[in-house]
Structure 1
């Protein structure tokens, strides 16, 4: 017993000595610095969405509130036929919306095949906050939205209905690459465009948005009316957590755009975040995800577009796509809502 007391006393004295000479001294407390808020979103119409999100972020607001507010802008834009109100319908003439949202705590909510409600993203958030579920679909999603005070409305505008009726004459289904981008899509229009609209109007895709707030917390949102003239009931990657959107507050966040079936096959946004966990930069993580799509079916990949957008906890961001033409908008104190072209796997 005496030997044990002697041993413990000697050990304590040794530890004290080590502390005195600095070998085992605890690191001094350093007050954490505030992060630099920023918001990123897909395609050129993301710039207007970024402005709405920035109004929240610049005043110290939460990233979750910012991404919801941001994507509500294109959801309500009657000139945008890819998201929300006035979205091109499915081949039965019904406008169906898909959306998801995810916060820094891993909480998430989603709706799919939702009709008659413009702001699908807000319904998705309430699924996250007020139900034990992650996803509600179809009539169930609509029933829930109405129970939460949303008003039923007609999302099919005269312009979208005219486009659908013209499409019915031939009923051809061949999505066009990059028609989300007006500067690129108008030049590349190669298929049915009944209204002779510029590329940023006649489109069929998604707004994905990720943001970091002043506390360094990440959130993301993704919302779409899906591909124009799709089969009724078709759901792409946009409302699927891990495919169209994924947020891990320790690592980063990612979102996707393009042909959702290909993104689902590789669980794309989750893959991008996990690659960043392994040390990949945001751009290289997006590139690897795109490369996996190509490896699965090179011939199919040549005829479609998919793009990924990512940001890590350091505020570094990047994107990569299958075909030239995808771009994204960045707004922060250091970046004035600039539009950045993503690098592509195929040269063009």
Structure 2
């Protein structure tokens, strides 16, 4: 019997695709780089791809610069409702939670759904009750919400602006009753976070987490916890995590689109670009993806103004924020 092929471990991270303002650019890049380091450390120690993406996403959930866990935004009632998904490419196992409240790290709760239940998705009160059963403690809502998020909520409630402007691929203006409201455009907290990984045993995994969009309807669920939309992983093709306008991503099952293209022979990069082009053409949606192929090739593409991203392979950390950027340093 031949020895199994040992893969070069890879982890790829995104911190959200949207019109990231300059005041958040440094923190966003720092956060995705820290997440990549956390995930890569798991991989080089022989940990699984699932372990790596959970570790990476937890770092970003703990960082108030991102809209996931700590830093989550508020719905119209001034409440926090979070969504997350994790998927193991070995046997297509997956778990997700939606509209969960008062949980510091929803990605870990999603993993518990995958590993400790017969289900793939738990929502709302049921998700919170399950969290208590498995020993995941509730935290106060105030501990998850930054003052910036509260100010953005106040602006949205005043101006009643659409969330769609946050994901356009150019500078956008917001209007209220026909008048430009620049204050309502200076927004944050729309940066869904995600990670994909390939471990040395050839297993893939993906995870995505979000606090949603400011002033959403209570009970609104976007793409993030939906398998095939917010994330997908299959050892026969690769792993994908998506970000951007959730309704658009859900309509085209963006993550599954990417893996479908890879199954047809496309590289991770070509598949990422093709799927986002399809979403723009079909539903006029914008967003971003990070991808790793089954053989370790990397894809990263976005059609919004900016996306915080990073990846590590062979001891090199790559990162960027704007189109065309690719800074590289040794890990």
Q: State the partner residue of 2:161.
A: 172
Q: State the partner residue of 1:329.
A: 310
User: Is structure 2 residue 78 aligned with structure 1 residue 93?
Assistant: yes
Measure the CA separation in 2 of the matches of 1:292 and 1:255.
Answer: 17
Higher relative contact order (CA 8 A, sep 6+): 2
Instruction: Say if 1:279 and 1:341 are closer, same or farther in 2 by CA, change over 3 A.
Output: farther
Q: Aligned pairs, how many?
A: 300
User: Is structure 2 residue 324 aligned with structure 1 residue 339?
Assistant: no
Instruction: Say if 1:283 and 1:149 are closer, same or farther in 2 by CA, change over 3 A.
Output: same
> 5+ residue gaps in structure 2?
16-28, 175-180, 325-331
Native 8 Å contact 1:175 1:204 kept in 2: no
Measure the CA separation in 1 of the matches of 2:50 and 2:182.
Answer: 36
The superposition leaves residues 207-234 of structure 1 with CA deviations (integer Å, 9 ceiling, x where unpaired) of: 1210011112111111000111111111
Decide which moves more: 63-72 or 286-295: 286-295
Q: State the partner residue of 1:34.
A: 6
With the length of structure 2 as denominator, give the TM-score of the two structures. Answer: 0.83
Instruction: Say if 1:315 and 1:270 are closer, same or farther in 2 by CA, change over 3 A.
Output: same
Kindly state the Cα deviation for residue 151 of structure 1 after the two structures are TM-superposed: 1.6
- Name the SS of the counterpart of 1:326 in structure 2: strand
Aligned match of 1:111 in 91, 97, 103?
Answer: 97
- Name the SS of the counterpart of 1:72 in structure 2: helix
Native 8 Å contact 2:276 2:286 kept in 1: no
Native 8 Å contact 2:245 2:286 kept in 1: yes
Measure the CA separation in 1 of the matches of 2:277 and 2:136.
Answer: 41
With the length of structure 1 as denominator, give the TM-score of the two structures. Answer: 0.79
Measure the CA separation in 1 of the matches of 2:138 and 2:3.
Answer: 49
Structure with the bigger percentage of strand: 2
1:187-206 equivalences in 2 (<5 Å): 188=171, 190-191=173-174, 202-206=188-192
Kindly state the Cα deviation for residue 164 of structure 1 after the two structures are TM-superposed: 2.1
Kindly state the Cα deviation for residue 178 of structure 1 after the two structures are TM-superposed: 5.8
Kindly state the Cα deviation for residue 193 of structure 1 after the two structures are TM-superposed: 7.9
Instruction: Say if 1:113 and 1:250 are closer, same or farther in 2 by CA, change over 3 A.
Output: same
Q: State the partner residue of 1:221.
A: 207
Kindly state the Cα deviation for residue 315 of structure 1 after the two structures are TM-superposed: 0.9
Q: State the partner residue of 1:284.
A: 270
Native 8 Å contact 1:178 1:326 kept in 2: no
Measure the CA separation in 1 of the matches of 2:93 and 2:323.
Answer: 29
Kindly state the Cα deviation for residue 327 of structure 1 after the two structures are TM-superposed: 4.8
Kindly state the Cα deviation for residue 236 of structure 1 after the two structures are TM-superposed: 0.7
Q: State the partner residue of 1:75.
A: 61
Q: State the partner residue of 1:232.
A: 218
Instruction: Say if 1:114 and 1:77 are closer, same or farther in 2 by CA, change over 3 A.
Output: same
1:46-65 equivalences in 2 (<5 Å): 46-65=32-51
> 5+ residue gaps in structure 1?
1-28, 344-348
1:313-324 equivalences in 2 (<5 Å): 313-324=294-305
